A = this chain, B = another copy of it.
Amino acid sequence: MSYLDIAEVARHSGLPASTLRFYEERRLIKSVGRRGLRRLFDASVLRQLALIALARAGGFALDEIAGMFAPDGRARIDRGQMRAKADELDRTIRRLKAMQAGLRHVAACPAPSHLECPQFVRMMRLAGAGRLKPPVESAKTGSKGKRRRR
């Protein structure tokens, strides 16, 4: 009775329907049936999508996340993997804090070039001590970055 069609799931989750179809194809979620052509989802898919969002935020790739769900849709989670990710996240958070301090410094410090401000350089050294690849970017918080010259 409490089945949701894709539009409702989209509305509740904030994800576009195309993404939901994509997630289903990648076996991150599954629909429980059809009404005609249309997918029907159990309401529990919303919690599952929340878990997926959480995992994505934690740095798991979609394939890894797919591996976390047993065929019945229940979470089947490798505790060691979780701990490892948590530790990694810990390091990431530390670096991000350093980065943040760096940014706030730059926003305040009047030095002409921050590369020459010893305080900034020190912070950078702290932040950079352990490399880090890609960024966390909040949903659609500005920074369109669309151009690509040449």
* Interfacial residues, chain A to chain B (CB-CB below 8 A): 14, 44, 47-48, 50-51, 53-54, 56-61, 63-64, 74-75, 77, 79-80, 82-86, 88-93, 95-97, 99-100, 102-104, 106-108, 112-115, 121, 124-125, 127-128, 130-139, 141-143, 145, 147-148
Contact = CB atoms under 8 A, between A and B. Distances in A.
Contacts of A134: 56, 134-137
B88 A53 contact: no
- Among A44, A48, A53, A135, residue most surrounded by chain B Cβ atoms (within 10 Å): A135
Contacts of A102: 54, 58
Contacts of A127: 54, 57
A125 B84 CA distance: 22
B100 A58 contact: yes
B89 A128 contact: no
